[in-house]
Amino acid sequence: MRRRTWVFLMVLILVPSLVLTLAGCGKSSTPNIAKIKKRGVLKVGVKADVIGFGYKNPATNQFEGLEIDLAKRIAKEMLGSENKVEFTAVTAKTRQGLLDNGEVDMVIATFTITEERKKVIDFSPVYYVDGIRLLVKKDSGIKSLADMDGKTIGVAKGADTQARLEAKAAELKVKPKFQAYETYPEILAALQAGRVQAFATDAAILKYYELQDKSTVILPDRYSDEEYGVATKKGNDDLRDFVAKVVNKLKDSGELKAMWEKWGLTSK
Amino acid sequence: MLFGPQAWLALFHDWRIFAGGLGQTVVASLLGLVLALILGTLLGVLGVTPVRPLRWVNRVYVEFFQNTPLVTQMFFYYYGLPRLGIVLPVLAVGVIGLGVYTGAYIAEIVRAGIQSIHRGQLEAAYSQGFTYGQAMRHIVLPQAFRIIMPPLTNQFVNLIKNSSVLSLIAGYDIMYQADAWSSYNLLYGVAYLTAALLYLALTLPTAYLARRLERRMQSTWGAAT
């Protein structure tokens, strides 16, 4: 290739990469409570397919669940009314991006607090503790993680399920394989197609899929503690502190426990 | 931050994950190309035979596989076939999906290439005692091949890019690894930029090699008479 063409190509590739890298350093963005108040509505990312937490009821076309109630409560404390809140459906994969680019002010979507995530995102105090369980076909004969040596477990992209289960599996001296899919329904499809022998995620999420396919069953063992927190963008300290205050208030007053019971949930 | 030094450090620390993805993409692309060339040549030739039912086979194949999305085809092989009892490993799904899809485009290119060869060549072959099949194999196709090199290599580059569809069926290719890695630690900026650069690392040399091959074939065969 001619020298000029090469130089042109290199510039074309390197300059954008350099610009993006430099833009990444030292940049901090600051949406904050005043901005939300000015806008007049709180934007929250929630799940749409997790019964009891964040679920878009097909009968009413409304979002409902523990996390919806929590979002409404935060909106009430911040803006004076439970109705000044706008929900956006998210998945484990998309929630970070939407938070980072400001599409949502916070994410309340069965988001487990982990040390790695704390490096790039802020969490509120824990508002619910769930655990990872396995969904398998009834006729597979699988009774627990110990039976999964050499078998494949389907997980969702963006979830911390694989890391948690790998640790647990190592303790049990078994070595399962993992495949990650974009959405939960795809994992169920993979289970039905025999591509994975177990569907693993938080127990609360699995319940919906067990109902969808009567030939499956959730195994009894719980493999980890999944602590859920409200996520806010790193750097939005005022937002983080405000949410922490609300969550702690609900915990101390017993209202949080009442909210769990309303949805038939039992936190660990 | 999205593109900060820590993000790059984390990426280089896990370089094996991306290398694995690169390997899988290369394997899927090469095998897919072989299948696409075989199917494309066979069906392209079918498109110019005097036998009308065979031309129909070409038409149906090309129209169906060119006009439905590759993703849809892949999902069918991956999720649909198991319902019929056929469970293929994901690499096989990828190779078949890419091969059959790209084969439809190559079939059209081959057909156009053959039709651009002067009918006189075929007649001269017949006069020498070649059968239709022999004439195709020894006289017409080699000349057609030289003409269709540029659009063919374009298809190969497309195939390499299309292999990214494997990421949607847990295919362990470049996109899947970048996706899974970054959705776990949320460093999606560096992950996707690296994925793009890896694809470039495959497509640019391919285009370059193809041009060299093209030039070499020209000098071997000389000007068409």
pTM of this structure: 0.76
Burial bucket for residue A55 (CB in 10 Å: 0-12, 13-18, 19+)? buried
Q: Are residues A110 and A231 in the same domain?
A: yes
Q: Are residues A117 and A240 in the same domain?
A: yes
Flag whether residue A38 sits within 8 Å of chain B, measured between CB atoms: no
**Can you give the residue ranges of every domain in chain B?**
5-219
Could you tell me if residue A244 is inside a domain? yes
Q: Are residues A115 and A45 in the same domain?
A: yes
Burial call A27-53: b when 16+ CB within 10 Å, e when fewer: eeeebebeebeeeeebbbbbbbbbbbb
Measured at the alpha carbon of residue A47, what is the angle toward residues A45 and A50, in degrees to the nearest 5?
A: 160
Q: Are residues A103 and A58 in the same domain?
A: yes
Flag whether residue B3 sits within 8 Å of chain A, measured between CB atoms: yes
B1 — pLDDT class (breaks 50, 70, 90): low
Domain range for residue A189?
Answer: 132-224
Q: Are residues A214 and A143 in the same domain?
A: yes
Q: Do B183 and A158 touch (CB under 8 A)?
A: yes
Flag whether residue B34 sits within 8 Å of chain A, measured between CB atoms: no
Q: What is the ipTM of this complex?
A: 0.72
A31 versus A263: which is more confidently predicted? A263
The residue whose two tokens read 């439905």 is B68
Could you tell me if residue A232 is inside a domain? yes
Angle between helices B188-221 and B141-162 (to 10 degrees): 180
Task: Read off the pLDDT of residues A121-159 as tens digits, 9 standing for 90 and up.
Answer: 999 999 999 999 999 999 999 999 999 999 999 999 888
Flag whether residue A12 sits within 8 Å of chain B, measured between CB atoms: no
**Contact residues on chain A for B7, CB-CB shorter than 8 A:** 24
Could you tell me if residue A26 is inside a domain? no
**Contact residues on chain A for B176, CB-CB shorter than 8 A:** 180
State the virtual CA torsion across A67, A71, A77, A80 in degrees, nearest 10.
-130
Q: Are residues A238 and A123 in the same domain?
A: yes
State the CB neighbour count (10 A cutoff) for residue A268: 10
Task: Read off the pLDDT of residues B26-82 as tens digits, 9 standing for 90 and up.
Answer: 999 999 999 999 999 999 999 988 899 999 999 999 999 999 999 999 999 999 999
Q: Do B189 and A163 touch (CB under 8 A)?
A: no
A30, pLDDT greater than 50: no
Could you tell me if residue A14 is inside a domain? no
Q: How crowded is the C-beta side of A152, counted as CA atoms within 13 Å?
A: 16
Residue range A227-242: average pLDDT? 92
Flag whether residue A213 sits within 8 Å of chain B, measured between CB atoms: no
Record: fold of B5-219: MetI-like fold (1.10.3720)
Residue range A185-193: average pLDDT? 92
CB B2 within 8 A of CB A22: no
The pair of structure tokens assigned to B89 is: 């490993």
Q: Read off the CATH number of the domain in which A202 is found.
A: 3.40.190.10
Q: How crowded is the C-beta side of B101, counted as CA atoms within 13 Å?
A: 27
Q: Do B189 and A24 touch (CB under 8 A)?
A: yes
- Considering CB atoms only, which of B1, B78, B184 is closest to A24? B1
Q: What is the pLDDT of residue B74?
A: 96
Flag whether residue B186 sits within 8 Å of chain A, measured between CB atoms: yes
Number of domains in chain A: 2
A26, pLDDT greater than 50: no
The DSSP element (H or E) to which B105 belongs, if any, is helix B90-115
Q: Do B79 and A190 touch (CB under 8 A)?
A: yes
Pairing of the two strands A132-137 and A216-218: antiparallel
> What CA–CA distances, in Å, run from B183 to A2, A12, A243?
40, 28, 25
Closest-approach residue (CA) in chain B for A178: B170
pLDDT more than 70, % of chain A? 95
Sign of CA dihedral A139, A159, B178, B162: positive
Q: Are residues A120 and A231 in the same domain?
A: yes
Q: What is the pLDDT of residue A32?
A: 78
Flag whether residue B60 sits within 8 Å of chain A, measured between CB atoms: no
